[in-house]
Amino acid sequence: MKVLIPTPLRDYTAHAARVEASGASLADLLADLERRYPGIRFRMVNEQDRLRPHMRVFVNGVAVRDLAARLGPDDEVAIVQALSGG
């Protein structure tokens, strides 16, 4: 499936904005991304195996927070890193 990578994480993907990955669940997808791009998963998932608060994942335009969420081979996944400031 196609995965959109946010700019702050593109150092892991050789600056690719879109990459291919696979997985039956969001957790599987992130594991596949980690195999292909070592270090990227830690930037998205914390030590309690939950998405970090500043990370957002959209599957076919719908926000997903549960790593057990099921994915299909034709799904489009967008990873978004929230920004804050004042």
Containing 62, the helix (H) or strand (E) segment is strand 62-64
Contacts of residue 26, defined as CB under 8 A and 6 or more positions apart, other chains included, come to: 57, 59, 64, 66, 67, 68, 69, 71, 77
pLDDT in tens, 34-78: 999 999 999 999 999 999 999 999 999 999 999 999 999 999 999
The confidence score (pLDDT) of residue 82 equals 82
Q: Are 79 and 57 in contact (CB under 8 A)?
A: yes
Q: Give the residue extent of every domain in the chain.
A: 2-81
The confidence score (pLDDT) of residue 86 equals 53
CATH architecture for the domain at 2-81: Roll (3.10)
Identify residue 43 by its one-letter amino acid code.
R
- Find the Cα–Cα–Cα–Cα dihedral 43, 49, 64, 81, rounded to 10°: -20
**Is a pLDDT exceeding 60 seen at residue 85?**
no
